[in-house]
Amino acid sequence: MGKPTGFLEFTRELPGKKPVEERLKNYNEFIERYSDEKLNQQSARCMNCGVPFCHSGCPLGNVIPEFNDAVYRKSWQEAYEILASTNNFPEFTGRICPAPCESACVLGINQPAITIEEIEKHIIEIAFDKGFVKPRKPNVRTGKKVAVVGSGPAGLAAAAQLNYAGHTVTVFERDDKPGGLLRYGIPDFKLEKWVIDRRIKLMEEEGVTFRCHANVGENVRINDLLREYHAIVLAGGSTVPRDLKIPGRELKGVYYAMQFLKQQNKRNAGLDPLAHANIESNIFSENLLATSKNVVVIGGGDTGSDCVGTSNRHKAKSVTQFELLPKPPDGRNEFMPWPTFPMILKTSTSHEEGANRHWAIATKEFVGDKKGNLKALKVVDLEWKVTEDGKPSQFVEKPGSEREIPCELALLAMGFVHPQHEGLLNELGVDLDSRGNVRATEKEYKTSINKIFVAGDMRRGQSLVVWAISEGRECARKVDEFLNEGVSFLESKDQNIVLAI
């Protein structure tokens, strides 16, 4: 630990943010950096825990107390090397991770947790500034070739690890640039795309090849990959959105959240937002704008929050967000003990910018005008029954609460059900589980077809970016073992935790 009394002297402080009225004028990131003094103080709060639960809270097994100590001592290269040993992309997780490590922080038992996520972001950005981040080229190539299908966080992590192991890796991406969800799912105001470009350039210098506009199962034949590559990793994500099949669903003005968000990210990149509209299922064939409209976002998660922030930047007339479940508590209760990840009320930076939030509410009908345009939503309030452990189980409609609210743009942000089956998966004939995800064991990541592996949301269902990176790393290790007849020198998450303790 850097300072034995640090957690007694300093409290949790987050970096400053630009004023709402300023950040709504553009799509740039708006969270500022700590001063040197504040960064030192925040790292000083990390305690010498007997058992640092933050290790297990982090899906990557990041060695958090050790890099906090290095930050306190201003040993920046040491801090970077510790962080990079477990996390391929801290510049991503430092910006968009919900930080389950902080929920497991021992200090969080009776004080606000360490600002682990922000410290992580500062380590990697300082490392880039100081020139510590350099291409890691393998000394020897194995002669084995691996195809990675999908360039989201799971695919990128798998590609990076397999490249470090000496294999020749090609990443196939159906979009115009690599990044997957990172590039076209997450708004620029949370993750500017030069951050992705910087990492892709580094990976290319390390020897990874990227092939864009390469939709495997469509314009790239899976049989060609099976012949050419010694192993294939499926990392296409969970991309089929959950629908709301109620009367009026066909009206003009009802769209999936990703159709809306992807268009805006393409605009920010100076691209035609309607390009490839007939090819990609998540691009709609007309411009989707919230300007001067009453917007209702149906779904209370992160994707819904991203729609709120984007709609406010479009200068929507009003922005409302619905959540089917009841409003969560402000803090932990007896059903959410430390160090579990608590389901508590979260107010995102997009919510701070303006949104009418409603809980325990259901949409019963999309109401249209005579021209087929959405004009209102018919909604009803709900009363929830909870189980003995405090979880909502059943709901009934509250009598007399049914009403219509004005709405010209409804965005469905209710999560994703499974990966796209049409094309690649159907052509492969790979086994699926009961939820429609690609079936594979968690320890082996093998599919039902020889030499084909799967990682990320395509295997486990929709999840966090940090889980996708973890899956990509662990899958890469199993692929390496497969190619090396049971031997791999890539470390696993479990090994990292044991070494840290």
Alpha-carbon torsion 60, 330, 296, 421, what sign?
positive
pLDDT of residue 442: 73
pLDDT of residue 496: 57
pLDDT of residue 491: 75
For the chain, which domains are there?
Answer: 5-130 (1.10.1060.10), 145-239+416-499 (3.50.50.60), 243-412 (3.50.50.60)
Alpha-carbon torsion 124, 112, 336, 51, what sign?
positive
The two three-digit tokens of residue 36, written as one number: 């040197």
pLDDT of residue 278: 45
The two three-digit tokens of residue 218, written as one number: 């469509």
Measured CA to CA, the distance from residue 348 to residue 20 in angstroms comes to 13
pLDDT in tens, the chain (501 residues): 778 999 999 999 999 999 999 999 999 999 999 999 999 999 999 998 889 999 999 999 999 999 999 999 999 999 999 999 999 999 999 999 999 999 999 999 999 999 999 999 999 999 999 999 999 999 999 999 999 999 999 999 999 999 999 999 999 999 999 999 999 999 999 999 999 999 999 999 999 999 999 999 999 999 999 999 999 999 999 999 999 999 999 999 999 999 999 999 999 999 988 876 544 445 557 899 999 999 999 999 999 999 999 999 999 999 999 999 999 999 999 889 999 999 999 999 999 999 999 999 999 999 999 999 999 999 999 999 988 877 888 999 999 999 999 999 999 999 999 999 999 999 999 999 999 999 998 789 999 999 999 999 999 999 999 999 999 999 999 999 999 987 887 877 665 555 454
Contact 260, 375 (CB under 8 A): no
> pTM here?
0.94
* List of E strands, 187-326: 209-211, 231-234, 240-241, 254-256, 294-298, 318-323
Burial tier of 276 (Cβ tally within 10 Å: 0-12, 13-18, 19+): middle
pLDDT of residue 279: 45
pLDDT of residue 230: 98
Contact 353, 24 (CB under 8 A): yes
